[in-house]
Amino acid sequence: EVQLVESGGGQVQPGGSLRLSCAVSGFTVNTKYMSWVRQAPGKGLEWVSVIDTSGSTYYAASVKGRFTISRDNSKNTLSLQMNSLRAEDTAVYHCVRGPANQWPIDYWGQGTLVTVSS
Amino acid sequence: DIVMTQSPDSLALSLGERATINCKSSQSVLYRSNNKNYLAWYQQKPGQPPKLLIYWASTRESGVPDRFSGSGSGTDFTLTINTLQAEDVALYYCHQYYTTPYTFGQGTMLEIK
């Protein structure tokens, strides 16, 4: 059974940093494209970043240069290092499997809440 | 960026009725080499992550009731829910995964009248 479990959320001051982790079970993280998708309170869905099977990474313009996606094959985890956080980064961050070429996002974690506030 | 625009923003119908949600993309999401639209629909209930309903614009995900169907190609897409059930009350999102940045529609709230 596929499971994605996020951790690492919390409250941080503007300009601060936070690292999110996603524990993956049911498949090997380096065999699938993996993304982070966020949802601000009461708002819609926003794709943040993707890492493909070759390790190439892509980012939304709103986070490029501040966020870094990575994976640890030995621990089967996905991570998101978030620096220079802003109030507008406040959201629930979901770890998701996909999208990959013709295949959509098919599994979502419950998410972890990040609040950027002084 | 591909902008996804859903209509309506909200919808209130009676049990047993048919719901129709539209999604328009600012450019085509049809991948010509395999003739597949890189367009998915998700259902999100309060306190839960989104759930995949439809991909390739019209292929139902395993386990999704057949009252859910998707149609359309290129830039115009529709999610239809036949015979509305109480458990269908949710937010519905369309999503293009044709190119980065991947984008979502703003969501359509479906309620029971």
pLDDT at B10: 98
Q: Which residue has the tokens 């940045």?
A: B101
The pLDDT tens digits for B68-104 are: 999 999 999 999 999 999 999 999 999 999 999 999 9
The pLDDT of residue B11: 96
CA angle at residue B39 from A46 to B37, to 5 degrees?
Answer: 145
- What is the overall mean pLDDT for chain A? 97
**What is the distance in angstroms between the Cα of B13 and the nearest Cα belonging to chain A?**
22
Phi, psi torsion values for A84, nearest 5 degrees? 50, 50
**Distances from the Cα of A57 to the Cα of A4, A34, A48, A95, angstroms:** 20, 10, 11, 15
Helix (H, G, I), strand (E, B) or coil at A111: coil
Say which of B50, B97, B101 has its CB closest to residue A60. Answer: B101
Residue A19 pLDDT level (bands cut at 50, 70, 90): very high
8 Å CB contact between B79 and B70: yes
pLDDT at B22: 98
A71-118 confidence digits (pLDDT tens): 999 999 999 999 999 999 999 999 999 999 999 999 999 999 999 999
pLDDT at B92: 98
If interface means Cβ-Cβ distance under 8 Å, which residues of chain A face chain B? 35, 44-47, 50, 58, 60-61, 94, 98-99, 102-106, 108-111
Give the rounded percent of residues in chain A with a pLDDT score beyond 90: 99
Secondary structure class of A30 (helix, strand, coil): helix
Question: Which residues of chain B lie closer than 8 angstroms to A104, CB-CB?
Answer: 38, 40, 52, 55, 95, 97
Say what the pLDDT of residue B69 is.
98
Q: How far apart are CA A43 and CA B93, in angstroms?
A: 12
CA angle A95, A98, A103 (to 5 degrees): 155
In whole angstroms, give the CA distance from residue A38 to residue B84: 29
CA distance B57 to B40: 6
pLDDT tens per residue, range B4-37: 999 999 999 999 999 999 999 999 999 999 999 9
